[in-house]
Amino acid sequence: MREDAKTPARHAQRMARKQAIMQARIAAAQKEQGLLLVLTGPGKGKSSSGFGMAARALGHGMKVGVVQFIKGRIPTGEAAFFSNLPGVTYHIMGEGYTWDTQDRERDVAMATAAWEQAAAMLRDPRYDLVLLDELNIALRYDYLDHDQVYDDLLQRPPMQHVVVTGRYAPQPLIELADTVTEMKVVKHAFADQGVKAQKGIEL
Amino acid sequence: MREDAKTPARHAQRMARKQAIMQARIAAAQKEQGLLLVLTGPGKGKSSSGFGMAARALGHGMKVGVVQFIKGRIPTGEAAFFSNLPGVTYHIMGEGYTWDTQDRERDVAMATAAWEQAAAMLRDPRYDLVLLDELNIALRYDYLDHDQVYDDLLQRPPMQHVVVTGRYAPQPLIELADTVTEMKVVKHAFADQGVKAQKGIEL
């Protein structure tokens, strides 16, 4: 059971706070503000979209933080590219979850340690954009305390953008978000035909 | 009327050729091969996903070509970031289409000149990945000869990846593609509320 479902009062309180923030934002109309973007769904392009937004932000001279909550295989291309760029702070969570070995305690510990890195960025107004890659997977399996995550997101500096990627974005996160895009698979010609992931495109 | 609809024989020929390529690819199973990816639909994240894939490819030491078929406003962040990186060749099409002034001849000329840059990359096996950003818009308005575009894509070097972005991907392009993702808008809180595009996230 999800943390958020366990605490309806806390959820209501968070939604009220969110509504107040939304109303202030709408009243501010033409003002700039930090956005929370969620990229979810089964289609390809969620993480790459997040990294593209990070690149765009860097192009504007903005400071970017990345925390990669990995699914299993170690991401290579984006880490190689972004992790040594000036203006980027980059954390990769441990060594992936224990899908095979099923050591839940270890998975929770790893995800929690990664969230501590994320939370530090979400408290630091020097970060203009924070990319939380595959966070949704950590939430999906309740490796993180949902309420803590949502509260940290809500309490971030007002001008800070956050991009969250991963399948299965939980409903409370969608409610908190400003913009949500779902990636749909229209066609994936080789998904069932044994063609391996292509370096540079998929890894 | 689309070029492709005008020439059913050519379309059938192209599909037969595509089918032969597909069969060879499937037979090759675990072999690597150049993929054609299409990112379309109304949701946010199409171009940024293409640029994220470009970043990932650069992270693998691959050579990347970008042609930006712009919609109107001049893209800034990604051009600033990518255009001077080693390993990247970057072309931006003219000054945007004449949506207001409706000078179709000029739009066709601009798009055609941009396609010539793209076609040169699609003939050059040194490019590991070619990003054709917002190409779908140029096709949508028939600013380009569809058959020429599809033929140039099909005849590219076998290991070359191509990423095409933009709303309204035409059906023949979807048929040619290996992977197609449609970005759906689940939520866009401020789309109708006068909040301006956010530097670093949207421009």
ipTM for the predicted complex comes to: 0.80
* pLDDT for residue B104: 87
Residues 6 or more apart whose Cβ sits within 8 Å of residue A147: A3, A4, A7, A10, A14
Range of weakest confidence among A26-40, A141-155, B2-16: B2-16
Helix axes A8-28, A146-154, angle to 10 degrees: 20
pLDDT value at residue A17: 77
Nearest Cα of chain A lies from the Cα of B51 at a distance, in angstroms, of: 5
Please provide the average confidence, as pLDDT, over all residues in chain B. Answer: 85
Q: Which of A151, A160, A190, A139 is nearest to A63 (CA)?
A: A160
A43/B45 Cβ within 8 A = no
Q: What pLDDT score does A4 carry?
A: 47
b/e code B98-133 from CB counts within 10 Å (16+ = b): eeeeeeeeebbebbeebbebbbbbbeeeebbbbbbb
**pLDDT the model gives residue A14:** 74
Looking at the partner chain, which of A25, A53, A186 has a beta carbon nearest the beta carbon of B48? A53
Chain A nearest-CA distance from B188, in A, is 4
> For A55, which of B22, B52, B179 is closest by C-beta distance?
B52
Contact B200, A56 (CB under 8 A): yes
Inform me whether the pLDDT recorded for A195 exceeds 60: no
Pairing state between β B36-40 and B129-133: unpaired
Non-local (6+) Cβ contacts of A142 within 8 A are A2, A3
In the predicted model, residues of chain B with pLDDT beneath 50 are 1-5, 192-194, 203
What is the rounded average pLDDT of the residues A37-61? Answer: 94
The answer for residues whose C-beta is within 8 angstroms of residue B126's C-beta and 6 or more apart is B63
pLDDT at B72: 62
Query: What residue segments make up the domains of chain B, in order of their start?
Result: 33-182
**Residue where the block lists tokens 């470009």:** B54
For domain A41-182, the CATH class is: alpha beta
**CATH fold for the domain made of B33-182:** Rossmann fold (3.40.50)
